[in-house]
Amino acid sequence: MVYDVIVIGGGAAGYFYAINLAAKNRNLKIVILEKQKTVLSKVRVSGGGRCNVTRHCFAPNELVKFYPRGAKELLPLFYGFNPAHTIEWFRERGVELKTEPDGRMFPAANTSRAIIDCFVKEAVKYNIDVMLNTEVNDIEEASGSWKVAAETKVYQAEKIFIGSGNSTKVWGILEKLGHSIVPPVPSLFSFMSGDNFVIGLAGLARDVSINLAGSKLTESGALLFTHQGVSGPAVLKLSSKAARQLAAMNYQFTINVNFLINMNFDDTVSYLKNLKNAEAVRLIRLTKPFDIPQRLWEKLMLWSEINMDTKWKDCPQKKINLLSSALTKLPLHITGKSTNKEEFVTCGGVERKEIEWKRMESKIAKNIFFGGEVIDVDALTGGFNFQAAWTTAFTAADTKNR
Ligand SMILES: Cc1cc2nc3c(=O)[nH]c(=O)nc-3n(C[C@H](O)[C@H](O)[C@H](O)COP(=O)(O)OP(=O)(O)OC[C@H]3O[C@@H](n4cnc5c(N)ncnc54)[C@H](O)[C@@H]3O)c2cc1C
C-alpha cells in the first residue's frame, strides 16, 4: 500500500499530527497504523477518564519549568503552539475546555470521550485511513522512501511520523536505523516505605519540602501518607525530577522531610526553647505547635524518644534537638515505587540531540518525524505531558517549517 505519509501509533501525538497535516494539505494520503484494536486508548483512561488535556499556563518560559527533560528544546516550540493554542484548537472543533482551581484543564463535558470523538470525527472528515490491529514490526529504507512492515502487509511512503509512545519495539527499530535511545525508566510515582514512622499515618496530608538525601534535589508541596508509604505532589515532583537517579539506586533511598517549610533546624531549636519556657508545666503532647496534626505530633515525639507524659520543663536539650530534627529533616527510608494511577509516564526515548526540533525531523534518517512520548521528553503531572504531545505533533505537521 503506497501512501504520502504513514503515522505509526494511533495515540495522542499520532492523531494530532495526522489531523493537522491533513488540514494543511487535503490531497495527502495519510494512514495511521495502530497495533491495538482501538485507537487513543491512553487518552481514554487519562486523567481518571476525564483527560487532563492541558494546563492553564500560557507563558512559554513558565510552562517549560514543568518539564524535567526537554525544557530547552520545547521552549521555542511553545511560542508556536502552547496551551492557549490547544484551547483554541479544540474550541474550533466544538470541544470547550474548562479550568479547575489548580490550573488543570479538562473537556467541559468532563469525559475523555469528548477528545476521542473529536479526533475520530476529524480523521473521517480528512479521509485519513486508520488500520487497527496493525503492529509495526520493521522500518526499512527503499530507494528514497520508507517501507513499513506490519504483520500482514507492507506500507510504503515518503514520510513517516512516529507517535508510538513508550513502545520498546519501536525504540528497537529506531535503534536499528541508527538512533540513540535514552534507556526508559518510569517517572511520576509514589514512594513505598516500610519505615515505622509512616505506620498509622495513612490519609494525613501536609505541605512539606522533601530532599533526596545526599543530593541538592528538593521539592515542596503536599505530602500524603498512604498505607504503603508517601505520595502527593511533592513526591511526584521529586520522582519525576530524580527519575534517573532513583532508578540507578533501584528505588532504595532516603528522603529528608521538612514539615516546617519555612524553618530550618536552628530556627526550630530556638522556637522550641522559647516554647519550653512559656509552656513549662504543660504536657508536650498537648501543646502541638506549628499546627501539626495530633497523630503526626505524637509520631514525631516517639521518633524523638519523648514519652507521652513528659512536660516541657522536663524535656532535656538533647530531646529538643531530636524533635527539631524530626520536624525539619526527618529521614524516611524508601524501599520501592508504586504507580500513580492518575498519570504515569516514562522518561527516556529518542535522544533529543538527534532531532531537528524546528521540524521534529530525525537528524539520522531523513523524512522520519517524531512526536509525543517516543522522544526523551516528559513532564510533571497535570496536563503537561499531553501538551508536549500536541506541541511536538503540531510542529511536525507545520509545513512552513520545511
Ligand atoms: C493512566 C494514565 C493517565 C494519564 N493521564 C494524563 C493526563 O490526564 N494528562 C496528561 O497530560 N498526560 C496523561 N498521561 C500521559 C499521556 O497519556 C501521555 O503522555 C500521552 O498519551 C503520550 O502520547 P503519545 O501519542 O506519545 O503516546 P500514546 O498516547 O501512548 O500513543 C501511542 C500509540 O502507539 C501505539 N503503538 C505502540 N507501538 C506500536 C507499533 N509497533 N505499531 C503500531 N502502533 C503502536 C500504541 O498502541 C498507542 O496507541 C497519562 C498516562 C497514563 C498511563
Spell out, as residue ranges, where the chain has pLDDT lower than 50.
Answer: none
Say yes or no: CB of residue 360 within 6 Å of ligand 1: no
User: Phi and psi for 308 in degrees, rounded to 5?
Assistant: -65, -20
The residue whose C-alpha atom lies closest to atom 14 belonging to ligand 1 is 343
pLDDT attached to residue 341: 65
pLDDT attached to residue 35: 97
Same domain for 267 and 334?
yes
Domain containing 206 equals 189-339
DSSP 71-133: HHHHHHHHHHS-HHHHHHHHHHTT--EEE-TTSEEEETTSSTHHHHHHHHHHHHHTT-EEESS
Same domain for 302 and 379?
no
C-alpha angle 219/222/225, rounded to 5°?
A: 110
pTM of the full predicted structure? 0.90
Residue with cell 508504586: 338
pLDDT attached to residue 300: 97
Same domain for 15 and 99?
yes
pLDDT attached to residue 113: 98
Closest C-alpha to 325, from 279, 256, 229: 256
And the C-alpha cell for 152?
500482514
User: Where do the H-state alpha helices sit in 160-232?
Assistant: 168-176
Residue with cell 500560557: 58
The count of structural domains within the chain is: 2
pLDDT attached to residue 345: 78
pLDDT attached to residue 402: 57
385 contacts 393 by C-beta, under 8 angstroms: no
**Contacts by 281-284 with C-beta closer than 8 Å and gap 24+?**
281/311, 281/312, 281/313, 282/311, 282/312, 283/308, 283/309, 283/310, 283/311, 284/310, 284/311, 284/312, 284/315
For residue range 155-209, list pLDDT tens digits in order: 999 999 999 999 999 999 999 999 999 999 999 899 999 999 999 999 999 999 9
Of 314, 339, 364, the residue that ends a domain is 339
Same domain for 153 and 15?
yes
pLDDT attached to residue 339: 75
Say yes or no: CB of residue 240 within 6 Å of ligand 1: no
pLDDT attached to residue 343: 60
Cα(11) to centroid of ligand 1, in Å? 6
Say yes or no: CB of residue 167 within 6 Å of ligand 1: yes
pLDDT attached to residue 401: 58
User: Phi and psi for 240 in degrees, rounded to 5?
Assistant: -75, -50
pLDDT attached to residue 152: 86
Same domain for 65 and 201?
no
Calculate the CA 353 to chain-centre distance.
Answer: 21
Of 339, 356, 377, the residue that ends a domain is 339
